[in-house]
Homo-oligomer: A and B are copies of this chain.
Amino acid sequence: MNNHFKRTGILFVLSAPSGAGKTTLCSALRQKPDFVYAVSCTTRKPRPGEIDGEDYFFLLAEDFDRRLATGDFLEHAEVHGNHYGTLKSTVNENLEKGVDVLIDIDTKGAGAIRACDSPFICDALADVFIMPPSLDELQHRLRKRGTESEDQVATRLRNAAVEMEGWREYKYTIISSSMEEDIEKFRAVMRAERYLSRRLVIES
């Protein structure tokens, strides 16, 4: 018996309430990528420093609607009045090749993926929720970021409280501590998922 294994691709889904450090965590992971990061589409305006095609594909509402009508999105959701969506093509093409994909989406988007009717996607899925240590800490981080008005901070906190209630729906929950710890924990999840026997196939 010779052990030539290959592996099916994994769809890593990363969610966290705004301010929990999801964007920083993703950027750090993307610096040493052993996966393809699937850039989301959004109709929201770029924040200072955000780059089209790297942070998001920034689409006009009419473009988003057109792609939605064509069935281009694996999932799409409206958050804080803006539309977000993940392109099916990027995800499927990579998973089929046995390449892992990371997507960074909110809890609604993650829920939509979990509920999708593709057994292929369901099997590939490993979803992770980054749980802020507390709402107080989250509030502190949002204020420190200084990109939102007080009203927006209040809205985000209300949404965060709701999102945090959904942690049980995720396969993994990482309680956020330092960014370094969060990265290490997430990387441990990525590694372990790759050793799941059900993801291994014997090469013929």
Contact = CB atoms under 8 A, between A and B. Distances in A.
Interface stretch (A113-121, A145-153, A192-200): A192-200
B200 A3 contact: no
Interface residues of A, number: 35
Nearest to A168: B197
Q: Oligomeric state, in number of copies?
A: 2
Given A1-B161, A175-B3, A195 B185 contact: yes
Nearest to A164: B1
A198 B174 CA distance: 12
* Most B-side CB within 10 Å, residue of A131, A167, A172, A197: A197
B173 A200 contact: yes
Nearest to A188: B191
B195 A189 contact: yes
Interface in A106-164: 128-129, 131-135, 161, 164
A195 B12 CA distance: 14
Interface string A180-193: 00000101110111
A170 interface: yes
A171 B188 contact: no
A165 B197 CA distance: 12
A15 B15 CA distance: 34
A129 B197 contact: yes
A2 interface: yes
Interface of A: 1-3, 5, 128-129, 131-135, 161, 164-165, 167-175, 185, 187-189, 191-193, 195-198, 200
